[in-house]
Structure 1
Amino acid sequence: MKIVDIKEKVVPIKSSISNAYIDFSRMTASVVAIITDVEKNGKRVVGYGFNSNGRYAPSGLLHDRFIPRLVEADSKEYVNDEGSNLDPYKIWDILMTDEKPGGHGERSVAVGTLDMAVWDAVAKIEDKPLYQLLSDRYGDGKPDHKVFVYAAGGYYQPGKGLAELQDEMRGYLNDGYSVVKMKIGNSLEEDLHRIEAVLEIVPNGRSLAVDANGRFDLETAIQYAEKLEPYNLFWYEEAGDPLDYELQAELTKHYKNAMATGENLFSMQDARNLIRYGGMRQDRDYLQFDCALSYGLVEYIRILDMLKKYGWSSRRCIPHGGHQMSLNIAAGLGLGGNESYPGVFEPFGGFADDVPVESGYVRMPDVPGVGFEAKSDLMKLLHSVAE
């Protein structure tokens, strides 16, 4: 078997929404299709992948470096020993040929995008949902058949006042979510009014998470912490720069409740530094590494192995991204849940069509691969890339 072609397309995910750091009016994403010569159920196996929101399409890196390396490789270099399927680890090594250590930036997004497509193809060739394949290979063969998901929203938006924010959060609860998330970081006074407005809608503070998107210096992070603590929130997310481990460690001394970070750490080494030096607490804090931004599932498995060595449970991981790839990882490798973007970043956000969120959980569809075929709007886009 072999890969016969790899295609890529840049698509907009622009929106009028913003967080405390960026707006999304010019945001893009790369979509890739890895076309194999394998046929299953009368159809050519094509693996699809894309990068998560918040990072722009790494199109140049894909076409200049990573796609050519894989296309030019002999098939014997990237298939498994039996010659029956692609080997994601061998492919990862090919993609990273002649890449120096460190500098994980945007290249991790390019590799993560291809890696998603590889795993989609691998699971389709085995005719299994990816979550089942992962559980069979790396677990006990008994994946979670439903996964906790929270609704990420509450963005800053022109004309969006407290009433509109309340309506948005009320809608998430009506859709079956038990935990919602909102953005903070514009100003403490404004954000406290916004938080208290949402707390009027949700059952209690444990139903609300807040996200500063790395906006604060230490002094501001502590000021927010002092005001947030009495609310007993689900978590206080990414207060400072994601690589400022000293800030994160100091903040834990001023905030006793749960915190979350990690979505902007793009390698096992960066994740390990967070665990070593960031003061994160195994009994309450959450880790948000996103495989689609951090060299893919191959690297994510390395991160999980590292966490185990440091005494962390995989259940403390709730990935960023709100996409089906992370949902499969959560179900197959026993994570604590997954982010969700109801009605945002379409068609990438959300999960299988006609599978409702019930009491904060979503059921896993029985679809080979990542399950993109169960999401009709997304599949229209993915098919346009492959064609």
Structure 2
Amino acid sequence: MRITRVETFLVPPRWLFVRIETESGVVGWGEASLEGHSEGVRTVVEQFAEHLVGSDASRIEDHWQVLTKSGFYRGGAVFGSAISGIDQALWDIKGKHLGVPVHELLGGAVRDRIRVYGWVGGDDPSGVADAIEAQLKAGLTAVKMNASGVMGRIGSVAEIDGVLERVAVAREVLGPHRDVAVDFHGRFTLANARRIAPMLEPLRPFFIEEPVVPENSHLIGQLVQGTSVPIATGERLYNRQEFLPVLQAGISVAQPDLSHAGGISEVRRIAALAEAYDVQLAPHCPLGPIALASCLQVGFATPNYLIQEQSIGIHYNQGAEVLDYVVDKTPLNFASGSIERLTGPGLGIEVDEAAVRAADARGHSWRTPVWRHPDGSLAEW
């Protein structure tokens, strides 16, 4: 099953898809989206194609080892995203070739459905109550919201009260049987996070996400020890080695991104490492349908899988939606707050290749917003 062609597609709103074709005609799809830097990832995928074309598509682990370790310079978000998209596509090919979903190749299903959550409130959260009601009507039982927009290095009384008020509104709408996660988005200093986390405890958030920027992961243990709210992080950590310190620091939820952290192969290993620390997995996925399907395949075969992020209707989706690129939308439908186990071969979805090629002709140039504090200095987005 030799690889004959590797293609990439830059599709709106901000995604990069990878297509790998084999001599037998089996095609696999992956998602190498790196928000704000997809063009750079595309170039790396094209370079990695020099190794892949002519090789055996079934040797997934060998390809992963070569692409991650044969270069003298390695690691990071760009290389990790390129490898992730390729890895997903190779698993998709193997599943299709054998006629089984990927989770069967990972040891078989440990659950029949995976709970999912949706985003509310936008980057600078507002209209939270109405947005949550809409998500509940769409069939979800959990949501996530940003804690704030631009946040002062030491938050003002008004900034702190704003966070508490928004989460209180969410709790009132959701009641005691549904959940709200609160994303600090790396916008908080350690001092701010330590101050606000205990104040949120009476509202019982599902978890607090990314309370400090990833380069300050060595500080996260101080926050863990100072609050009873579960702490989540990991969307900007790219391998087992980077997850180890935060697991040792006591986080409760690991959030690797399957389009950045080495794809299905590495995230399975991150999940196993997390299990040894009694930590749950909730992969980051504000991305497209291929990334979502890849996450779900891992989740159906992973015991310590808590919940899955998905981006249908997220505020970033301008000009295209998650389900615009799949032929049959029903496998990704919500049922009682969950997505039922995918049964189709490979990743379990059928990518609409015509729609992808047409979208690539339009392309995109999405960039991370640049935010500033009132004094003009750079603020964390």
Query: TM-score of the superposition, structure 1-length normalised?
Result: 0.79
**2:45 aligned residue (62, 70, 73):** 62
In structure 1, the gaps of 5 or more residues are: 14-27, 39-43, 80-85, 136-140
Query: TM-score of the superposition, structure 2-length normalised?
Result: 0.80
Aligned to 1:381: 355
**1:183 aligned residue (139, 146, 155):** 146
1:1-387 aligned within 5 A: 1-13=1-13, 28-38=14-24, 44-52=25-33, 54=35, 56-57=37-38, 58-63=41-46, 65-71=47-53, 74-75=54-55, 78=56, 86-96=58-68, 98-100=70-72, 103-135=75-107, 141-156=108-123, 161-162=126-127, 165-186=128-149, 187-204=159-176, 207-276=179-248, 278-280=249-251, 285-308=252-275, 310-312=276-278, 316-321=280-285, 323-334=292-303, 335-344=305-314, 345=317, 346-348=320-322, 353-355=329-331, 356-373=333-350, 379-382=353-356
The CA distance in 2 between the partners of 1:122 and 1:384, in whole Å, is 27
SS at match of 2:163: helix
Q: 1:288-337: CA deviations, max 9, x gaps?
A: 112221111221232233334x3436xx1111115111011101223223
SS at match of 2:26: strand
CA apart distance, 1:53: 6.0
Matched letter for residue 364 of structure 1: R
Matched letter for residue 329 of structure 2: D
Number of equivalenced pairs: 337
SS at match of 1:191: helix
Sort the Cα spacing of 1:382 and 1:117 in 2 relative to 1 into closer, same or farther, 3 A: farther
The CA distance in 1 between the partners of 2:70 and 2:105, in whole Å, is 31
Q: Percent identical across equivalent pairs?
A: 25
In structure 2, the gaps of 5 or more residues are: 150-158, 287-291, 362-381
Sort the Cα spacing of 1:237 and 1:311 in 2 relative to 1 into closer, same or farther, 3 A: closer
C-alpha RMSD of the superposition: 2.6
Sort the Cα spacing of 1:35 and 1:384 in 2 relative to 1 into closer, same or farther, 3 A: farther
Sort the Cα spacing of 1:195 and 1:349 in 2 relative to 1 into closer, same or farther, 3 A: farther
Greater RCO, CA 8 A, separation 6+: 2
CA apart distance, 1:206: 5.5
CA apart distance, 1:379: 4.9
Query: Which shows bigger deviation, 28-37 or 331-340?
Result: 331-340
